[in-house]
Structure 1
Amino acid sequence: MKTFILGRTKEEVERLVPENQIKTVRLGEEKICLSRVGNAYFAFERTCPHRKADLANGFINKFQEVICPLHQYRFNLVTGRCHQSNCQDLKLFKNEITPEGLKIYI
């Protein structure tokens, strides 16, 4: 497992990851999506497990779910669980906000 740090302060991380938006970042060889809802940060795989649509083109709803832009599948950002039974769950990446920035574990 590799650890990446985004930003240098909590305030800088908040500017880099606007609330209720999805941002794509490259961490090493992998591109992932980041989002923030309030003080909670979410790191998740970039493509939908269903048909590989780019989740950066989706949106975050008020239930802390990312909505796929292709078929509107909903994925819980806390558990990764898909609300449609015929789709795999979304891969999530552990992360934590620290005084040094946002640590993301890949």
Structure 2
Amino acid sequence: MKRLLLILVLLSSSADAQYFKYSDIASSPPADQNMYIAGVADALSRTSSVNLCLGKKLKMKAGQLTTNVMNYAANKAALHSLGMADVVVAYLKEACRAP
């Protein structure tokens, strides 16, 4: 009976994953920006190309990454409606592009 109740509770509760857009993060306090962008970068770093870009080429701290990503997207209106992960990917593609 307890197992059935647990299954019903899990099925009735909705998963509420929130993915923030650039415009949401831009209006957040700097500490929240750092935390969110660091989390995005951490999730993205699971791919080898992003890991190499962040770890070997850019070698920057979370605050530097946040500043650079926010400055990169500030004047690119097309990025403002995208999810923050897409903005970070766009920044990394340009920042880690081979010379």
The TM-score normalised by the length of structure 2 is: 0.29
Which has the higher relative contact order, 1 or 2, with Cα contacts under 8 A spaced 6 or more apart? Answer: 2
* TM-score, with structure 1 as normaliser: 0.27
Q: Which has the larger radius of gyration?
A: 2
